Structure 1
Amino acid sequence: MAEIVSIGSGEEPDKQQTLPQNIEAEAALLGALMIDNRLVEDVQMKLRAEHFFEPLHGRIYEQILKLTDRNMVANPVTLKPLFEADEAMKELGGPAYLAKLTGSGASVIGARDFAAQIYDLALLRALVDVGRDMVEDALDTSEEVAPLEQVERAETALYRVAEEGGADGKAKSFGDASKVAIEMAEKALNSGGHLSGITTGIEGVNSKIGGLHHSDLLILAGRPGMGKTSLATNMAFAAAQRFVRDMEDGIEEKKSAGAPVAFFSLEMSADQLATRILAEQSGISSENLRMGKISKQEFTNLARAAADLSTLPLYIDDTPGLTIAALRTRARRLKRQKGIGMVVVDYLQLLQGSGRGSNDNRVQEISEISRGLKQLAKELDVPVLALSQLSRAVEQREDKKPMLSDLRESGSIEQDADIVLFVYREEYYVNAREPKKPIEGDDAAVWEAHEQWSRDMERVYQMAELIVAKQRHGATGRVKMKFDARVTRFSDAPMDDTYAPEMRG
């Protein structure tokens, strides 16, 4: 039953190789499963029908799983009607082949080992397929040569082998999909009824969007000075810190509300981001940290905070000028090596596309980048939080609150994103329009203008809003937050009504 496959072309017959496989192990495992159906529970989590080299064995395995899933006995008698019309089974003598598989009761003892070997051999066959495709693509110069794209495809294929056991992508049954939905609902229930994804560190935001969900692309946008990098850093730190705490509390990794985080900083250096986080945790002004204006006691607090954060699973890549392909490659590597469960990109417009025609059409390049980030979120099954600039149109309006149309090159970004968030601080704009400070001799209007400005500043001091402009999982709206510019920290607003429905259309 083993198929002879030549690896490469033009090789001598004695150098031809069979693909890695063990038909006898497959037959023994099927026999063991039919003798003792309880073994199905041990192997079905990892082993799938497509991992069998012999297609007939894969079909038999699939039917065994279906019968046991319906609490029916799976043995040669119950399986017989399902294979009477199977052509491959007829070639082996018909359904009597099923009884032949159960001939050796000793196979029950080694069932787990058989399953492990079948899985490993499937991985090796998948590697052979990837290698063959790589060779054929590299040798084919009939079309446009794009070596970087070929490397990207090879990386994707190898990652799929590592994560999925060499199986090609296939449609999920509703049952499989509903299991994931139930797990998310259980997670939300255990967290108090509002957090089904990864925590943002801000209760009001968690309540509004349910946390950061796996496979989602989230866009966090704002004009310069609004604090979007600070908010992203706060969220990344909160997720990494929660993961450490959950692991210490013995919570299963998949049930944790935190995650190790990969932070791709294309604008700020790694030490600048680290300074922000240290400022937030030590309570020392980031400006004073940079300039060395700290006391010995503050330095002691800083050293203590640095020691506490030294094992934080937050990985910063500050390589400038990354292409979307390079970022995806690095993210896959971090997923494989560090088990990251969240990706942050600061910021989207600093990424580069494939380079072909990008100078001629920036909108098309941004479309490629946003689509690539969404694909990355789905491929790694992690939330991807990408920061984005807003157009200057915001500054021309009296109402400075951003809208979806303000996203720079907005069409594709808005379309690809599952959630679009805008960070807005009225304090920034009020502070910028400070009138002339009155001096003795100025008329009453000057004094009144400055007093009115002071009242406005007091009203908006440290207040911020997170505007949920698009959300596939729920309603749009606004979440009120507090922003301490001294240590660049966002936190929950000191009031009860932390979010309100979006009033604009």
Structure 2
Amino acid sequence: MALELIQALPHDEIAEKALLGAMLIDNRYVNQVFAEISSEDFFRDAHILIAQAVLQLVNSDSAADIITISSFLEKKKKLQFVGGHAFVTSLVDDIPENLDIKEYIKIVKDRSTLRKIILTSRNIIQKGGEPAADTISLLNEMQEDIITISEDRIKKGFVSTAEMIPEAMDLIERIQKGGESQGLKTGYYDLDDITSGFQNGDLIVFAARPSMGKTALALNIAVNMAIKEEKAVAFYSIEMSKIQVLMRMMAIHAKVSMSSIRTAKPHLTNKEWHDLELAASELQKAKLYIDDSASLSIVEMKARARKLKAEKNLDIIFVDYLQLIKVSAENLRRSDTRANEVAVITAALKELAKELQIPVVAMAQLNRSPETRGGKREKGPKYQLSDLKESGSIEQDADVVIFIHRDDQFDKDSERKGEADLIVAKQRNGPTGKIVLAFLDKFTKFANMEFHERE
């Protein structure tokens, strides 16, 4: 980087020196300073080295003053680089009479943020000028960089219980008055009872072997939330086209055979046409958004979700399915395995849920272990969290893991035809357990058991 650019970058030498001098005079300022900024927020290399030395000495229960700092830097062969003992002494000599530590911290932090913005922009401009520059990749990189800068600026530290109690009591009061939790309702009473609804900031994983109904369950819940709960719902479909997704949603909501819709064998009856048109009308009014990009990267997914949150006040995200998401090359090392890739994906989905403060629901494949572990004699497969395909990070990052099991898929003579077990195998803030739903195969529709009994 050109020396002229470095010198021109925003900084305030007086504020930086005042902070360093204040910490050398009174080590009690050290925690206050480093709770808000890091040593890298200082501009001059000499200031960075001195700040690092102060922090290291204080963390090792040693005093940090002009003598100990000079000695520390001399042992590291850095004393002459920073300007010698005379420069360290000048930090204390030049300190203002009326110290305003909070203001100095704000100034240093602001200048550091401006430098990061300038350098990030310069990097994007440089990459944008290259012949092989990819517009989408650059846009995603720029958005990620700016969000990282914003997050770095707002350091969330400890919050006292005195500040949090009013908010907690208000939440409890609303729950008690409403008689129910504040989570998003799925439309399945037993599932909502055990989970208290899908909570903001949670990563929820539905996992199953193929043909168990992962996508069907996701579509059912998405439709319930969009129409009955009037929530803004995003559905990422990496495997199916958006028209296929919509047609399945229409079949589910109208309770019309998906086979009839797709093949006209048999043709739809007048009643089915009427029900389908009614379902189409309700889905048209719903705040339901489908993205069917086939090669969707986690960076692109996060960028689009942020945009939808800003424009439509997004309430929940569905991802079908987790192991199909791509990871960009810059987020991986050459030696990384697919398990490492999945670890990056699950961590990013959890970060997205926390950042947007909405639930993120991801579908995931299971490996074959459950099929070898169970059978008719054991009343079906036995599921374990370690069955999650390709990575242990899924069970680690997920707040809720729910296995889907339909006995009639393993045993054609099963007495439980048309039933589906949802096994809550992990719930970070609630109980585990099993619930039973009806599965109407003709419509690929999950329903509460009482509905199934009425049918």
TM-score, normalized by the shorter chain, greater than 0.5: yes
| Alignment match of 1:235 (pick from 209, 217, 221) | 221
User: Which amino acid counterpart does residue 384 of structure 1 have in structure 2?
Assistant: V
Residues 53-452 of structure 1 correspond to what in structure 2 (within 5 A)?
Answer: 90=98, 131-138=117-124, 152=140, 154-156=142-144, 158=146, 168-171=154-157, 173-175=159-161, 176-193=163-180, 195-244=181-230, 259-292=231-264, 293-355=267-329, 356-357=332-333, 361-397=337-373, 398=375, 399-431=380-412
Moved beyond 4 Å, runs of 4+: 8-11, 15-19, 124-130, 136-141, 146-153, 157-162, 175-180, 357-360
Mark the CA change 1:17 to 1:159 in structure 2 (over 3 Å): closer, same or farther.
Answer: closer
User: Which amino acid counterpart does residue 179 of structure 2 have in structure 1?
Assistant: G
CA distance in structure 2 between the partners assigned to 1:158 and 1:204 by the alignment: 42
Is the contact made by 1:130 and 1:157 (CA closer than 8 Å) also made in structure 2?
A: no
Q: In the TM superposition, what whole-angstrom CA distance separates every residue of 1:98-120 from its partner, at most 9, and x where no partner exists?
A: xxxxxxxxxxxxxxxxxxxxxxx
Query: SS state of the match for residue 442, structure 2?
Result: coil
Instruction: Report how far residue 357 of structure 1 moved.
Output: 4.3
Q: In the TM superposition, what whole-angstrom CA distance separates every residue of 1:253-272 from its partner, at most 9, and x where no partner exists?
A: xxxxxx31111111111111
Instruction: Report how far residue 409 of structure 1 moved.
Output: 2.1
CA distance in structure 2 between the partners assigned to 1:407 and 1:16 by the alignment: 49
Instruction: Report how far residue 483 of structure 1 moved.
Output: 1.1
Is the contact made by 1:466 and 1:478 (CA closer than 8 Å) also made in structure 2?
A: yes
Query: SS state of the match for residue 226, structure 1?
Result: coil
Q: In the TM superposition, what whole-angstrom CA distance separates every residue of 1:62-93 from its partner, at most 9, and x where no partner exists?
A: xxxxxxxxxxxxxxxxxxxxxxxxx989479x
Is the contact made by 2:117 and 2:146 (CA closer than 8 Å) also made in structure 1?
A: no
Q: In the TM superposition, what whole-angstrom CA distance separates every residue of 1:278-299 from its partner, at most 9, and x where no partner exists?
A: 1122121111111232023322
Is the contact made by 2:223 and 2:253 (CA closer than 8 Å) also made in structure 1?
A: no
Q: What is the match of residue 417 of structure 2?
A: 461
Query: SS state of the match for residue 392, structure 2?
Result: helix
User: Which amino acid counterpart does residue 284 of structure 1 have in structure 2?
Assistant: V
Instruction: Report how far residue 422 of structure 1 moved.
Output: 0.5
Instruction: Report how far residue 233 of structure 1 moved.
Output: 1.1
List gaps (5 residues or longer) in structure 1. 1-7, 20-48, 51-86, 93-123, 245-258, 432-452, 496-505
Q: TM-score normalized by structure 1?
A: 0.61
Is the contact made by 2:124 and 2:142 (CA closer than 8 Å) also made in structure 1?
A: no
Instruction: Report how far residue 473 of structure 1 moved.
Output: 0.6
Q: In the TM superposition, what whole-angstrom CA distance separates every residue of 1:234-264 from its partner, at most 9, and x where no partner exists?
A: 11122222442xxxxxxxxxxxxxx311111
User: Which amino acid counterpart does residue 310 of structure 2 have in structure 1?
Assistant: R
Q: What is the match of residue 248 of structure 1?
A: none
List gaps (5 residues or longer) in structure 2. 13-35, 38-94, 101-109, 128-132
CA distance in structure 2 between the partners assigned to 1:88 and 1:307 by the alignment: 70
CA distance in structure 1 between the partners assigned to 2:285 and 2:170 by the alignment: 29
User: Which amino acid counterpart does residue 463 of structure 1 have in structure 2?
Assistant: E
CA distance in structure 2 between the partners assigned to 1:286 and 1:174 by the alignment: 55
Mark the CA change 1:493 to 1:88 in structure 2 (over 3 Å): closer, same or farther.
Answer: farther
Query: SS state of the match for residue 443, structure 2?
Result: coil
Query: SS state of the match for residue 310, structure 1?
Result: helix
- RMSD over aligned CA atoms reads 3.6
Mark the CA change 1:413 to 1:168 in structure 2 (over 3 Å): closer, same or farther.
Answer: same
Q: What is the match of residue 34 of structure 1?
A: none
Mark the CA change 1:407 to 1:475 in structure 2 (over 3 Å): closer, same or farther.
Answer: same
CA distance in structure 1 between the partners assigned to 2:432 and 2:394 by the alignment: 17
Instruction: Report how far residue 135 of structure 1 moved.
Output: 2.8
Is the contact made by 1:127 and 1:158 (CA closer than 8 Å) also made in structure 2?
A: no
Mark the CA change 1:179 to 1:235 in structure 2 (over 3 Å): closer, same or farther.
Answer: farther
Is the contact made by 1:377 and 1:384 (CA closer than 8 Å) also made in structure 2?
A: yes
Instruction: Report how far residue 300 of structure 1 moved.
Output: 2.5
CA distance in structure 1 between the partners assigned to 2:126 and 2:201 by the alignment: 34
CA distance in structure 2 between the partners assigned to 1:126 and 1:334 by the alignment: 30
Q: What is the match of residue 426 of structure 2?
A: 470
User: Which amino acid counterpart does residue 466 of structure 1 have in structure 2?
Assistant: L
Q: In the TM superposition, what whole-angstrom CA distance separates every residue of 1:394-423 from its partner, at most 9, and x where no partner exists?
A: 222323142212111241111111111101
Instruction: Report how far residue 133 of structure 1 moved.
Output: 3.6
Mark the CA change 1:417 to 1:321 in structure 2 (over 3 Å): closer, same or farther.
Answer: same
CA distance in structure 2 between the partners assigned to 1:359 and 1:346 by the alignment: 27
User: Which amino acid counterpart does residue 280 of structure 2 have in structure 1?
Assistant: A
Instruction: Report how far residue 181 of structure 1 moved.
Output: 3.8
Is the contact made by 1:358 and 1:365 (CA closer than 8 Å) also made in structure 2?
A: no
Is the contact made by 1:358 and 1:364 (CA closer than 8 Å) also made in structure 2?
A: no
Mark the CA change 1:206 to 1:132 in structure 2 (over 3 Å): closer, same or farther.
Answer: same
CA distance in structure 1 between the partners assigned to 2:421 and 2:438 by the alignment: 8
